[in-house]
Amino acid sequence: MKQNNNITKAHAAILTANVIFGLGVPLTKYLLTSWVTPMTYMAFRCIGAALIFWCIASFLPREHVEKRDLLVIMAGGLLGFVISQTLTAWALEFTTPVYFSLIATLTPIATMLMAALFLGERITSLKTLGVVLAFAGAALMVFVGWQSGTGRNDLLGILLALLSVLTWVVYLLITRKVSERYSAVTQMKWIFLVSSIAVVPFAIGDIQSTPLITQAALTSDWLRGALGMLFIVVFATVLGYFMIPFAMQYLRATTVSIYTNLQPVVASLVAIAIGQDLFTWDKPVAALLVLLGAYFVTARQTR
């Protein structure tokens, strides 16, 4: 009974995390457009999350981490946060939140292919159909984005988004077993410490000139930017990344990746509502193909 309760909590946690991530996509686009550069954005997230998680850890019993596991946690943090989220920020510099979030729905397919390649999991005919449909959806987005996209360079943005998805999948796979042995707070405090060490040297120049810091007048626009950055740090970073290792203690990496499909629904609705993107014919068609592909890839495991 207790195990079933934990599994329910894990599903609720990963669902909440992906709703938050979906809200974070158009908000990140807004911040990058007006207030921060990609490296400044990453530095704020790393430093803010590291401070919060180390403060929380100071009130909890100390948890010993084996050196080998610590290396896995840190490597996972560099892949799943620093590299993946930096690619996300760069992608949103060039393409729209809708295109980016639709690419994010390829996560279950990428997880399946990586698991087959490195873990030897079998690929069935149904999964193959799912991969073909998802690839067709992604190809449609690339083609239409190249022809008449609304971003600065949709093709480049989509390619960066694909790389972001791949690094995120590797993070899910390599940290799966470690997530079962240590608390989420222990994992996150080390992930964001090493992330801060990796990011800050590259962001110092941008931090000194970023409008969010240099603007002296506390205008309503500045307040919106500051609150937006605070949401990204507290909710889309600390809370979201806390929920992922918790969920992975009780769920398979493929199951966790299924919930990524919530992100385009949330991100697209918000982005179109606030005028960051336009509703065009290719978006619902591509979404249908990618979501159907994700369903065929993961339906058997979900049951």
What is the per-residue pLDDT for 199? 92
**In this predicted model, what pLDDT tens digit does every residue of 263-292 receive, in sequence order?**
777 777 777 777 766 667 666 777 677 667
Torsion angle of C-alpha atoms 177, 182, 187, 190, degrees rounded to 10: -110
| Residue 97 CA: distances (Å) to CA of 49, 136, 138, 140, 264 | 24, 20, 15, 16, 8
Q: How far apart are CA 241 and CA 251, in angstroms?
A: 15
Choice between 86 and 139, residue whose per-residue pLDDT is larger? 86
Alpha helices in the chain (DSSP H): 2-34, 38-58, 67-77, 84-94, 97-104, 107-119, 125-148, 154-174, 176-181, 184-207, 211-214, 220-231, 240-248, 253-258, 262-273, 282-302
Q: Which of 22, 45, 41, 44 is nearest to 33 (CA)?
A: 41
**In this predicted model, what pLDDT tens digit does every residue of 124-140 receive, in sequence order?**
777 777 767 766 776 67
Does the pLDDT of residue 42 top 50, yes or no? yes
Token digits of residue 261: 């499909």
**In this predicted model, what pLDDT tens digit does every residue of 47-69 receive, in sequence order?**
999 999 999 999 988 888 898 99
* Predicted structure pTM score: 0.77
Angle at 34 between CA 20 and CA 153, to 5 degrees: 85
